[in-house]
Amino acid sequence: MGAATALHSAACYAHGRFKNGIVYPITLSAIIGLSGWLPCLRTPRSKIESSPIAQRKAVALPILLSHERADEVVTYGNGERSFEFL
């Protein structure tokens, strides 16, 4: 769940707010995710795509996402979809 939390935090950082509307309080320098996925892909995508500021913040945030094909908990396909979104 750590990678999913980190990637969700990246989406909230880019948008500037948490899902509940509270302002995201910190500046992120980078994100590292191992064998994870970005939960709720549609919500962050629509919020980031609708804001030029969020798009700039998302593009400028370095993200390392690594996923093993043999992961029995988080499928490789979930990791691929997250990669494609990012």
Range of the domain at 13: 2-85
pTM of the model: 0.77
| pLDDT tens string 14-37 | 989 888 889 999 999 999 988 877
| pLDDT tens string 38-71 | 777 666 677 788 889 988 998 999 988 887 787 7
Phi-psi region of 16 (alpha: psi -120 to 50; beta: other; left: phi over 0): left
Give the chain's domain count.
Answer: 1
Question: What is the reported pLDDT for 31?
Answer: 92
